[in-house]
Amino acid sequence: MLLPILMGLPAGLMTTVAGMGGGLVLMVVLAAILGPHEALLLSAPALLVGNLHRAVMMRHSIERRLALPFALGALPGALVGGALVMRLPPLVVKIGIVCACVLALVSALWRWKWTPSRRVLPFIALGTGALSALGVGAGLVVSPVLLGAGLRARAYVGTASVVASALHIGRIGGYAHSGKLSWLLLGASAALAAAITVGNVVGARLDGALDARWRERIHYGALACCALAALAALL
């Protein structure tokens, strides 16, 4: 129970300040300590609570015309992906996490932006949902799409939180279908959710004190640490 509390605070703070990265760090550390499947089961409910809380805090900044279609398209993909990933061998899941971390770092450093058409967006969202079953891959698509739409600061964080909430709802449903969720995991996840929520509040208070350069440093630093940690765990 102590591990989720220690990990949840910085995860919530990081995502609230930088827009992403907290869930990635959380997933990599938990996967290294508990194993990939257990990390997915533990983190999903807590990250759902954290993103819902963040979305409520920034509800006035959310770009609804982008958030709602993306969220509705991503949810069924996450549901199917969540059911499938629980049937994969742990090593395959670990390799998927490593690849997602490395690609996230590369795309962030290249400042990749993507502005898909409205017609293509539902299909992109569906694939993003399936990718989210790994717990770390959705940001590879969500971040470039939101940046390509011109979202920044609170608008970016709030909109990303709505999309992430839908992804977590879908993958929780997929994981539950595997029958591996337990009351012990849910109890630890509740502690993690509480810590993430506190981190959100602290991050919101620090938000005005940080300029764009510090946001980028936190973002890139988190991604680099995740890539290295994921590689170390695999080896």
The proportion of the chain whose per-residue pLDDT surpasses 70, expressed as a percent, equals: 81
pLDDT grade for 60, boundaries at 50, 70 and 90: very high
Q: What is the pLDDT of residue 100?
A: 74
Contacts of 225-228 with CB under 8 Å at 24 or more apart are 225/25, 226/21, 226/24, 226/25, 226/28, 226/101, 226/104, 226/105, 226/136, 227/98, 227/101, 227/102, 227/104, 227/105
pLDDT > 90? residue 56: yes
Residue 139 token pair: 């940001």
- The first and second tokens of residue 231, run together, are 């590689």
Tally Cβ neighbours within 10 Å of residue 61: 15
Q: How far is CA 75 from the centre of its chain?
A: 14
**Cα(1)–Cα(191) distance, integer angstroms:** 7
| Higher-pLDDT residue of 44, 23 | 44
- Report CA torsion sign: 103, 105, 110, 111: positive
Looking at the predicted structure, is the pLDDT value of residue 182 above 70?
Answer: yes
The residue that leads in pLDDT, 93 or 226, is 93
What is this structure's pTM?
Answer: 0.84
CA–CA separation, 166 vs 29, rounded Å? 23
Q: How far is CA 136 from CA 27, 56, 63, 72, 98, in A?
A: 7, 23, 23, 19, 9
Q: In which band, very low, low, confident or very high, does the pLDDT at 205 lie, cut at 50, 70 and 90? A: confident
Identify which of 132-146, 168-182, 216-230 has the greatest average pLDDT: 168-182
The predicted pLDDT at position 64 comes to 92
**pLDDT, average across residues 59-80:** 92
